[in-house]
Amino acid sequence: MKLTRDQNDRIRLLLLVDESGIDLHSVERGLVDTSDYNLAIEASMAASDDVGKRKEIERAKRETQWRLEKGYYQGRPPYGLTFDDAGERLVPGDKFDTAVRVLVLRDADYSYWEITDELEPAKSTDGRILDRREQYEKFR
């Protein structure tokens, strides 16, 4: 049962509900006995889960910041590109030639529909390739 996002608020709310004599209902449990110590244990376990999650989020933020400071690519690689063996920088992938062909056809004044008819990527993918032209140009 998740009452609040914050661990302290959750514990305060359970105490307030118990002290006020308010009936607490859960979809999973029905009427909840707030004087039941198992509920307090569950709240404590949920609180420790919160602490662990917050630490994990902070670690991920530090890792992302470190990668950005090092100039490493952050995020999912664009169509036709992949990560190098170290997982740090973008390099041409299996579909790189197709991505370059999208650029060539658009430069030749093909419409998005004509490019989609001739090549594999969807029209929306073609648009993202064109929006990221400079990333592909680095490898041509």
pLDDT at 92 (0 to 100): 98
pLDDT at 114 (0 to 100): 94
Alpha helical stretches, state H, the chain: 7-20, 37-69, 96-107, 112-118, 123-131, 133-137
User: What's the CA gap between 113 and 127, in Å, rounded?
Assistant: 11
pLDDT at 2 (0 to 100): 57
Residue ranges covered by each domain of the chain? 7-69, 81-137
User: What's the CA gap between 42 and 35, in Å, rounded?
Assistant: 13
pLDDT at 64 (0 to 100): 93
pLDDT at 99 (0 to 100): 96
| pLDDT tens track, the chain, 140 positions | 555 667 777 778 777 877 887 776 667 777 767 666 676 667 666 666 777 788 889 999 999 999 999 989 989 999 999 999 999 999 999 999 999 999 999 999 999 999 999 998 899 999 999 999 999 999 98
Tally of residues, the chain? 140
Q: Residue 80 burial by CB count (10 A; 0-12/13-18/19+): exposed, middle or buried?
A: buried
pLDDT at 78 (0 to 100): 96
Report pTM. Answer: 0.59
